[in-house]
Structure 1
């Protein structure tokens, strides 16, 4: 899932829709959200 998001973000930045700083500022919160979501999924699986 993260690979796909990175691909989308990188392709947008290559097309000039985002600059580098914007891309970097989006990556961290997205990463955090995905990590949080993954941890919730793993907790559900252990129950």
Structure 2
């Protein structure tokens, strides 16, 4: 069985409020994956 908590989630979002809401939703869904936040698509690439 695959352990998906090993994978880091890349979140590309420039609005800090949206980042907060997405991280909150992940916590409420009990997702334990680490989240790497980038502010723009160019930085993510």
Bigger RCO (CA 8 Å, 6+ sep):
2
Q: Pick the TM interval, shorter chain.
A: 0.3 to 0.5
Which structure has the highest strand share of the two? Answer: 2
Which structure has the highest helix share of the two? Answer: 1
With the length of structure 1 as denominator, give the TM-score of the two structures.
0.34
Q: Which has the larger radius of gyration?
A: 1
